[in-house]
Structure 1
């Protein structure tokens, strides 16, 4: 009797599995219910600066869902809608890869959503659903088919433009998945002209998408995200530095536990890739075709690695955050796909090894959700302490205007010290470089807070001793204005228990 994991799945069964897998992965975010960075000020004003950031389609989505001209916070409704759309797109991708997909085949596209670095994207209650919809749109663009070569370029190009209008780094996902398409061309032993046609189509699609996007959106962008790193003597060293930075952050995933399944997974994937190249080489006719197979086979692994950071490497305004590493998900899909391509004389269920990395990525999601809760608890405690001082200090009741100066906090979270030690990548993903932001104070009823619009004043000149001096902040008064200054914590996170 055939094992249940090898039995073909119907469209309904495949979609149900995808919905369940995606929903199971977002449960920690539903339970944590944490407003993450930009969410604080967007929810306060029910408005985001998405047009200026080059993501103009986010606002109409919230306007359509709320039947208003603004963007009231609807979490988790947008997230649930987004993962439903993503489930349909991933179901389509599985059908694109496998004619009669089984349960093990259905695991192949899951790294797109289970990508550990994508946890930071999912942390945003407002932008997170848009990022998911962007990636779902990319999957529809990749799997679109039509007999007309022109339509096969224009329609996916339009879809890519829509995806970029939701979140620009999703282009890296398309490029990574297109590398897998070229691997499939080699696997199907397509001729050199047929593979070249696929290559040209695959480059024209994002090219058309970029043109549509830039023509329609670039005039509104004023955040500096559309400027590229200048080509001068500093370009090479800067590029190397950025590559080393992301390499260091990605290496945080590799612990003793993850290597226990990561190394066998990589060996199987390399075996499958070697078999594909070998079979394609043997069927290639002529020296030129063999050269083409060898060249493509050597370049594709490097291309897959480069699309992990993708275009973020080229931007002048470098973004070092985990959320830009959406391309890492396509490396996972490639490894999973190659494991399934391994052929042996006897039938071995190599696909079962995919369960281990998926369990690992799921564990990261749930651990990260608990860390979000710990960070929220610490922020809430400091917020309440600050609010108490503002309400109980007699001198502060006479102040007409408060100014707020935050200090980089560098993920200081003692309660999560154990999690950070055993799962170091979570600290990078968290990116909690604040305890309290001025946008959080209205939640406690404080409304007269302003920002330092210029360089923070020198508190040693004309301010005297702080009126309030706490562990995490101090409050200084001069004339009729007060300055709230968040302190930079330099203490270690590790506090050993005394026996």
Structure 2
């Protein structure tokens, strides 16, 4: 009852912070319990930061503050895996950022105000970011820095300079997080117009936020960006195919977002879209009917709807402009601000009808929370699959005299073209977005083998699969998922294509 009383009355900043910590902790609990080394975590944990290729470092990717973060937490240049400590620390910082954003949006925030800002973290696609035991904490801090740039940039006398520093820091942790700041800037303009602010004030707000964004970007270009040495920063060529390529990428991004809409959730998204749309139409009508000059009314409407369009473009955001287009869910951090706007508008419409109706906004949060727990179960299933695969390979090598004395082993063909996880087939069918966010398209990696005592596995095989088969046509071990061939003193584990159906039929 005490919690309900707090949630129904104006929150103090401390109460809001604690409630955000609880909400975020509840959201990341399934990931922490799963404790799965996700993709890059496998080799980062194995090497503990003692990288042989400088291109694998965070600094070489322009994310210099990630190296600073883990050097500080590890008390050394090496970065041993200390998960989930970094994520828990980042959770506290992010909770503070979100609670401050609630106070920025509402003069007297109650529990429903927190529901409006939580989608920045609860964003289903952000789960892929949080899945990384190393990078997850850095991406969470980047999100927090982007949000703080909005709130601190409006509260202090030197807010513009502080916001620039925070934007640069966010980019130095994870460049895509700048989409979050830009998206929240669009919401700032929409809020100003909706609050009947004069055109001069709206333009001043827009100019201030643009200065913060561009200044932060310039500061990052002069610092972290100069350290990038990976070949993935080339921009998309400005040729005749540029508009078509952008349109195709944007459509693909929205198709991925559309995976959240199923027969079970369509009603929820329709209601939210209807409420948000009705609020926007009402505000636009109020601007048109106001006593302002015609030019001011037209300009305000243009700013309102252009900001809305910009917010939609920021769903994939700056990733659209790179020559190499990564379709990963972790790049869709821009979905968070879009969800915040929808809930902000829906909250306004519902609260205008009756204060208690604003609690309807808890339903989309419950859906996102359910999505997180379903995702956590998939991580557990994947962990079990990896354990079985690595143990099977180790046992096959140890039980066969023809291969166990090989001096070196390599795994070939360990990547598959699609996710294959029979234990998750039902979940994938019920929530199609889970497969896209999950995105693990392998059953075993060579870096996993030391976990079962096999320390002679390497990552850079001297021969390709065709060369191995030409030198050793008959395998020494032939199993369901792999075959082991030997060429001289080197053993090759050739993963077989998976042709079995994923779905389980009882």
- What TM-score results when the alignment is normalised by the length of structure 2? 0.93
Partner of 1:191: 198
Partner of 1:221: 228
Greater shift after overlay, 393-402 or 114-123?
393-402
CA distance in 1, matches of 2:409, 2:463: 15
Greater shift after overlay, 199-208 or 78-87?
199-208
1:114 to 118, 122, 128: 122
For residue 61 of structure 1, report the CA deviation from its aligned partner.
1.1
Conservation of the 8 A alpha-carbon contact between 1:405 and 1:452: no
Q: Report whether the alignment pairs 1:134 with 2:142.
A: yes
Greater shift after overlay, 212-221 or 352-361?
212-221
CA distance in 1, matches of 2:480, 2:281: 58
Q: Report whether the alignment pairs 1:93 with 2:95.
A: no
CA distance in 1, matches of 2:381, 2:469: 34
C-alpha deviations, 1:268-303, integer Å up to 9, x for none?
A: 111222222223333362121011022123222221
Greater shift after overlay, 268-277 or 168-177?
268-277
Q: 1:464 to 1:33 in 2, by over 3 A?
A: same
CA distance in 2, matches of 1:98, 1:349: 16
5 Å-filtered alignment, 1:81-480, equals 81-145=89-153, 151-283=158-290, 285-342=292-349, 346-347=353-354, 349-409=356-416, 410-452=418-460, 456-458=464-466, 459-480=468-489
Partner of 2:23: 21
For residue 495 of structure 1, report the CA deviation from its aligned partner.
3.0
Greater shift after overlay, 472-481 or 357-366?
472-481
Conservation of the 8 A alpha-carbon contact between 1:79 and 1:128: yes
C-alpha deviations, 1:398-453, integer Å up to 9, x for none?
A: 32222222343221011111111101110111011111111111111212222346
Q: 1:346 to 1:184 in 2, by over 3 A?
A: closer
5 Å-filtered alignment, 1:9-48, equals 9-47=11-49
CA distance in 2, matches of 1:258, 1:350: 19
C-alpha deviations, 1:373-406, integer Å up to 9, x for none?
A: 0011011100000011222221213322222223
C-alpha deviations, 1:75-124, integer Å up to 9, x for none?
A: 11111100000111111101101111011112110100100001111111
Across the aligned residues of Structure 1 and Structure 2, the Cα RMSD in angstroms comes to 2.0
C-alpha deviations, 1:285-336, integer Å up to 9, x for none?
A: 2121011022123222221211110011111121111000000011110011
Conservation of the 8 A alpha-carbon contact between 1:384 and 1:444: yes
For residue 341 of structure 1, report the CA deviation from its aligned partner.
2.1
For structure 1, which runs of at least 5 residues remain unmatched after alignment?
none
Conservation of the 8 A alpha-carbon contact between 1:135 and 1:170: yes
For structure 2, which runs of at least 5 residues remain unmatched after alignment?
50-55
> In the comparison of the two structures, how many residue pairs are matched?
495
**3-state SS of the aligned residue for 1:394?**
coil
For residue 130 of structure 1, report the CA deviation from its aligned partner.
0.6
**3-state SS of the aligned residue for 1:404?**
strand
- What TM-score results when the alignment is normalised by the length of structure 1? 0.95
CA distance in 1, matches of 2:282, 2:412: 59
Q: 1:3 to 1:398 in 2, by over 3 A?
A: closer
Q: 1:272 to 1:5 in 2, by over 3 A?
A: farther
Partner of 1:79: 87
CA distance in 2, matches of 1:273, 1:227: 38
Greater shift after overlay, 4-13 or 92-101?
4-13
**3-state SS of the aligned residue for 2:173?**
coil
